[in-house]
Amino acid sequence: MTGRKVSRFVGLLIALGIGLAVFFNLNDTATTKNTHFPVEVNASIAAAIFIAVLALTFFLIPVLYRWAREQIRRAEVSDFIASTIGLIVGLGIAALGSIFLSQISFMHLGQWLPLLDAIFWAYAGIAIAVLRKDDFARFFGGAFAAGRARRLTLREERDADEHEEREDHGRLRDRLAGRKNGRAGDRILVDTSAIIDGRIADISETGFIVGTLVVARFVLEELQHIADSADSMRRQRGRRGLEILQRLQKEPTVSVEISDADAESIHEVDAKLVKLARQWHCPIITNDFNLNRVAELQGVKVLNINELAHAVKPILLPGEDMSIKIMQDGKEVGQGVGYLDDGTMIVVEGGRSYMGNTVDVTVTRVLQTVAGRMIFAHPKQQATRDAAPARRTGTA
């Protein structure tokens, strides 16, 4: 049954109960006071009250139900625990107070004050517990911290060596058996940008990723939304990301997990990833610059693919030779520009004449900039041609 049907059924029961109570009460009153109201009149009054209450509950209970469901969905688990404890404490205080309040006979207040007392203390207990839950947690946490710390210290000292030995044997056994290295405790949250980038699949094939790559459901939904975009470029990037994710799932050297964990109170994907990473105490793998900075500011470890690629770039020293294809003009007159496979720019002095051709060059200097590494070189063919006329001139 849906929530609307349940709420209407409850409203029907309430209205029926009130109508029957009014009907029997009218009959009892008429019998006691020797009045002679016909049964039809009492039934009509009860029916009118039944219809009024039923109409009110059909409108009011669904509204209250939706409001309560929305509040429950937004509330955190800690709020439920705190409100339950506060309700128990408040009702306990109300029970003690009702013993004295029920003895009041003035204007029959003893019949109503215990109920009002219970409602007041129940609300006060819930409100105080929820609003000051952090203070109570710190208070009780500090009271038991010393004993818990001693027990944990003794347990850690007793089990440290054994645990470390089991971990080492487990890693060695998994690698020798050719099984996946990932374990549930070594989770790595994967960002959408890292999946679309595609290099994460190549890195996983090398075996450098030790742990379980966790793809949250909201990341998968964002990837699917990009793949369904009206923009052809975004659609192509989204489909490439889905292909990379499928490739990762088939990769035997890494474990991939699709998780339903979510931070429902947060709408942005990057903020959701940071919150989950803080809760799980695990890193995030990404190549998003903004996510990298935000996560680091909040104490979350980030595995940046761009930084990894920059770290493993080959180091070229002045005097080394290489082959490069001249792709475009440089800023200065006569310069040609080429690129290595990793995107490093090679500025070739006098390389404009070799436009579109692959030429052997000699590195002259290496310049490290904020944007990356820039290499300057000159063609070896140019040096050979310059040397040949010099030899002929000397011979003449």
* Number of structural domains the chain divides into: 3
pLDDT > 70? residue 39: no
Give the pTM: 0.41
Domain shared by 244 and 267, yes or no: yes
The answer to whether position 126 is within a domain reads yes
On whether both 222 and 303 belong to a single domain, the answer is yes
Q: Which CATH number fits the domain that encloses residue 292?
A: 3.40.50.1010
Give the model's confidence band at 386: pLDDT under 50 very low, under 70 low, under 90 confident, else very high: very low
CATH label of the domain that carries residue 383: 2.40.50.140
Is 222 in contact with 268 (CB distance < 8 Å)? no
Structure tokens given for 26: 């009218």
- Would you tell me how many other CB atoms lie within 10 Å of the CB of residue 151? 10
Tell me if 283 is assigned to some domain.
yes
Of the candidates 290, 311, 332, which is a domain's last residue? Answer: 311
Provide the Cα torsion 328, 332, 335, 337; round to 10°.
-40
- pLDDT > 90: percent of the chain: 4
End-to-end CA distance of the chain: 106
For residue 171, pLDDT over 50 is answered with: yes
Question: Which region among 132-136, 338-342, 356-360 has the lowest average model confidence (pLDDT)?
Answer: 132-136
| pLDDT band with cut points at 50, 70 and 90 for residue 337 | very high
SS3 64: helix
Residue ending a domain, choose from 282, 311, 340: 311
Same domain, 216 and 259: yes
Instruction: Give the residue numbers spanning the domain of 249.
Output: 187-311
Given pLDDT bands bounded at 50, 70 and 90, which one contains residue 57?
A: low
Residue 270 has pLDDT above 50, yes or no: yes
- Residues 214 and 99 occupy one common structural domain: no
Within this chain, do residues 8 and 94 fall inside the same structural domain, yes or no? Answer: yes
Same domain membership, residue 352 and residue 276: no
pLDDT value at position 306? 79
Say whether both 49 and 127 belong to one domain: yes
Per-residue confidence (pLDDT) for residue 394, from 0 to 100: 45
Question: In which band, very low, low, confident or very high, does the pLDDT at 336 lie, cut at 50, 70 and 90?
Answer: very high
Q: pLDDT by residue (tens digit) across 282-322?
A: 999 988 888 888 888 888 888 888 778 777 776 777 888 88
Reply yes or no on whether the pLDDT at 3 is more than 60.
no
Q: DSSP string spanning 358-382?
A: EEEEEEEEEEE-SS-EEEEEEEHHH
Least confident of 151-155, 251-255, 362-366: 151-155
Task: Calculate the average pLDDT of the chain.
Answer: 76
Does the pLDDT value for residue 259 go beyond 60? yes
Chain-centroid distance, C-alpha 242: 20
7 and 129: one domain?
yes
Beta-carbon contacts of residue 124 (< 8 Å; ≥ 6 apart) = 90
Are 232 and 260 within one domain?
A: yes
> DSSP class of residue 107?
G
Cβ neighbors of 268 (< 8 A, separation 6 or more) are none
In a domain, 14, yes or no: yes
128 and 12 in one domain? yes
Averaged pLDDT, 71-83: 76
What is the β-pairing status of strands 302-304 and 284-286? Answer: parallel
Same domain assignment for residues 307 and 191: yes
The verdict on residue 61 lying in a domain is yes
How many other CB atoms are there within 10 angstroms of residue 348's CB atom? Answer: 26
R_g of the chain, CA atoms, integer Å: 38
Asked, for residue 25, whether it belongs to a domain, the answer is: yes
Looking at the DSSP assignment, which residues form a beta bridge with residue 287? none
Average pLDDT of 162-177?
A: 57
For residue 393, the model assigns a pLDDT of 44
Residue 28: inside a domain, yes or no? yes
Cα gap 76→98, rounded to integer Å: 32
In a domain, 147, yes or no: no
Name the domain boundary from 115, 133, 151: 133
pLDDT above 70 as % of the chain: 68
Examine the domain organization and report whether 31 and 117 are in the same domain: yes
Q: What is the pLDDT of residues 311-332, one digit of tens each?
A: 777 677 788 888 889 998 888 8
Would you say residue 210 lies in a domain? yes
